[in-house]
Amino acid sequence: MAKRSNHWYTIVLACLLLPISGWAQFELPGTDIWLLDISSLPSIRLSPATQRAGYDNQPAFSDDGRWLYYSRGELAADGLGYTDIWRLDLTSGASRPVTRTKLSEFSPLPIPNSPGISMVRVQSDGRQELWSVFPDSERPERRIVRAEPVGYHAWLSADSLALFVLGDAEQDQPNRLELWQPSSDSGTVLSQDIGRGLQVSQRGELFYIQNPAQIMRLQLNLEPIPVIGLYENGQDFALGKDDSLWHAAGSKLYRRMPADQHWQLLLDLQQYGLSGITRIAINPTADQLAVVAVESVQ
């Protein structure tokens, strides 16, 4: 996030919203990304997407299902941390970097109808901006919108973005949900005091977190509708192509189908050695999950 004069506020947000601009002063948590084959539930097949000492987080599948993009923690020569964007080839199992800078890039997502991905980049002066990068291409990186400080984002269409924009505690301004159009570089505030989870249905409906832990569904130009709460004040969920919702708390994996009133417990992943699960993503064909768990490497 952009620098604030209140040092304690920066520390708190650094713990809650890693990675942000102040996070380089602190140690990133050790996390791994795991792939779950869910095509034969309740049976699953589990394999590591990343398994090393360090921070691997914020997984996002490409629209064609070939790649898994993620944020990877690195250590600079001065001992301070930063993150690059990496991608895993889900066919070959090979990982390679997408960005190689001394800045921090995080929160990667595929751009609709484009070979590029969008990401949040923390500039050297602390500004958090939304940028695009085009793997396997000579196309230059560029800033997408002038909104700032951006924490997370989701594409509703090729020219419509939902942004989690960081507030300012000193000014009593909460984090807010903003809708932006890259073509006009203009935005409007949709909601206040939101969480980091942002998902978009195939119909273009936005699902987001209203703090403390309530999933909301927003049809544009209509009032947001409460959907269901998350366990343990969660901030992360995934949305399947059939509008199924996926959520993990601790080591437990839950699913909610559109007709359900409550979450259904599917699995306790503790039996596979996974715990402290936070972020979760689902692939376009809805037969594979990526989950982020506490690091298993000793």
Q: What is the pLDDT of residues 73-127, one digit of tens each?
A: 998 877 778 999 999 999 999 999 999 998 999 999 999 999 999 999 999 999 9
Judge whether 253 and 246 are in contact, CB under 8 Å: yes
**Model-level pTM?**
0.90
- On average, the pLDDT of the chain sits at 89
Judge whether 282 and 61 are in contact, CB under 8 Å: yes
Domain boundaries of the chain, sorted by first residue: 7-294
Q: Which runs of E-coded beta strand occur in 64-205?
A: 67-75, 81-89, 95-97, 104-110, 117-122, 128-133, 142-143, 150-157, 160-165, 176-181, 186-192, 194-200
Q: What is the pLDDT of residues 200-257, one digit of tens each?
A: 999 999 999 999 999 999 987 788 999 999 999 999 999 999 999 999 999 999 999 9
Q: What is the pLDDT of residues 129-180, one digit of tens each?
A: 999 999 988 899 999 999 999 999 999 999 999 999 999 988 899 999 999 9
225 token code pair = 């509708």
Judge whether 82 and 74 are in contact, CB under 8 Å: yes
CATH superfamily assigned to domain 7-294: TolB, C-terminal domain (2.120.10.30)
Dist CA 239 CA 245 (whole Å): 5
Strand 150-157 with 160-165, pairing: antiparallel
pLDDT > 80? residue 56: yes
